Structure 1
Amino acid sequence: MKEKAVDLRPGWIIQYEGRQFAVLSTRTVKSGTGGGAFIQTEMRNIQTGSKAQTAFRSTDTIERLSTEELECTFLYKEGEDYVFMNMEDYSQITVSAETIGDDVAFLSDGINVRLKLVDGSVLAVEFPTTVICTVVETDPQIKGATATAMDKPAILDNGIRVVVPSFVNVGEKIVIKTATREYSERYKEGK
């Protein structure tokens, strides 16, 4: 179905230049010369997994693909593929690593995701906006660092490298934004 570029949203599957893309992020950028606004997007090519940045004029028309969405839970890895359970009918769905892309690092036992299908084929996996990870490697806390805003690199239990505040230590659970792979906050039990 045809949609205006100004309505473009993360999570959409679109047809662009003969290929299918999953929209990862969008932001509106105003032209300084009164020429209108542009929609800056980050998209992932569904076939290759490569990411691209594209700008659309707000007046452009986009071909949005009709998708079926299934709430699923990750079960296990089988060879190079990943198996999910459909929460409606408890059937199992196998998804390739290429379809999941770099976000495969966020898969953990029992994580709930949304599979996006076009014509019965899984084209994208939508993760929760945040996930909880454990810091497995980082520098020790610097005395008095809480008074100043200092950051340091850290490696998480899923292998992702992030920058964390200096007060975060090895073994702590933190909340990570899946879209940007950035530190959000310390994980608070029961929150």
Structure 2
Amino acid sequence: MKAALLLLSISSVGAWIAPASTFHRPSTTLYGSIAPKDFKTGLTIQIDGQPTKIVEFQHVKQARGAASTKTKFKNLITGNTLQKTVQASETFDPAQIDRSDAQHTYRENNNWFFMDSETFDEKMVSDSIVDDREDWIMEGMNVQLVEFEGKVIDLNLPSTMELEVVQTDPNVKGNSAQGVTKPATLECGATIMVPGFIEAGEKLLVDVPNKAYMSRAK
């Protein structure tokens, strides 16, 4: 009788103890999950363990053999660029990076300073990281900072901006020719090509990544 009660007690306790495998959580890291078909401009992957951004790419289809992708990469640690033909069978790990919204506050010598929009911490970004986007950044402008191991390695500007034209040649009256363009300097300092009918003082919608005129702002 005692033995039967003991077995019943052990059985009851066992019913409350989940097997060890129940608490196992599989890793969420998607190793080797990015293939050339998934490439996008600005996507950050790992090459040789370092965060590397896809600057531009072109898929190449061949009559015979596997497809490939001609790609220009930028190492976000060293700043070096690499041209490489990637085969369709190759895969890459996503870079483990952090992104945060920040506001540009001021510039001093070769450094740019931003305030984290959530923590209000000040973060410094060097000229080498800003690179050719210097003419697009204005005081008070919101950007996205990209960090790797606590260090800012890149920044992303808004894809579309509304900007005023501060200088451009006057429109020639009666000139209605299609495709006539001229340079225009924007309030941020950048210069883009605009249609001939655009005048100084007008506000435009601008495609920032392509540095191109989109339309007049409404």
Q: Is this a same-fold pair by TM over 0.5?
A: yes
Shift of 1:39: 3.2
User: What is the one-letter code of the residue matched to 2:215?
Assistant: E
Higher helix share: 2
The residue correspondences of 1:150-169 to structure 2 (distance < 5 A) are 150-169=180-199
TM-score by length of 1: 0.83
2:171 counterpart residue number = 141
Backbone CA RMSD of aligned residues: 2.5
Distance 1:53 1:65 in 2: 19
CA–CA separation in structure 2 for the residues paired with 1:25 and 1:60: 17
RCO higher in 1 or 2 (8 Å CA, sep ≥ 6)? 1
- Which residue type is aligned with residue 96 of structure 1? S
Counterparts of residues 86-165 of structure 1 (less than 5 Å): 86-146=116-176, 148-165=178-195
Residue number in structure 1 paired with 2:15: none
Aligned length: 187
> Secondary structure of 1:15's partner?
strand
**Residue of structure 2 aligned with 1:15, choices 39, 46, 53:** 46
- Give the counterpart of 2:115 among 75, 82, 85: 85
C-alpha contact (below 8 Å) 2:205/2:217 kept by paired residues: yes
Structure 1: gaps (5+ residues): none
Q: TM-score, normalised by structure 2?
A: 0.73
Q: For residues 37 and 143 of structure 1, what CA distance do their matches in structure 2 show?
A: 51
SS of equivalent residue, structure 2 residue 135: helix
Are 1:106 and 1:131, in contact at CA under 8 Å, matched by a contact in 2?
Answer: no
Report which stretch shifted further, 91-100 or 1-10. 1-10
Q: Shift of the alpha carbon at 1:8?
A: 2.2
Give percent identity, aligned residues only.
27
Deviation of 1:183 (Å): 1.0
Q: Which has the higher strand share?
A: 1
Deviates more, 1:83-92 or 1:40-49: 40-49
Q: 1:160 to 1:54 in 2, by over 3 A?
A: farther
Q: Relative to structure 2, which stretch is displaced further, 12-21 or 99-108? A: 12-21
2: distance between equivalents of 1:139 and 1:161? Answer: 13
Larger radius of gyration: 2
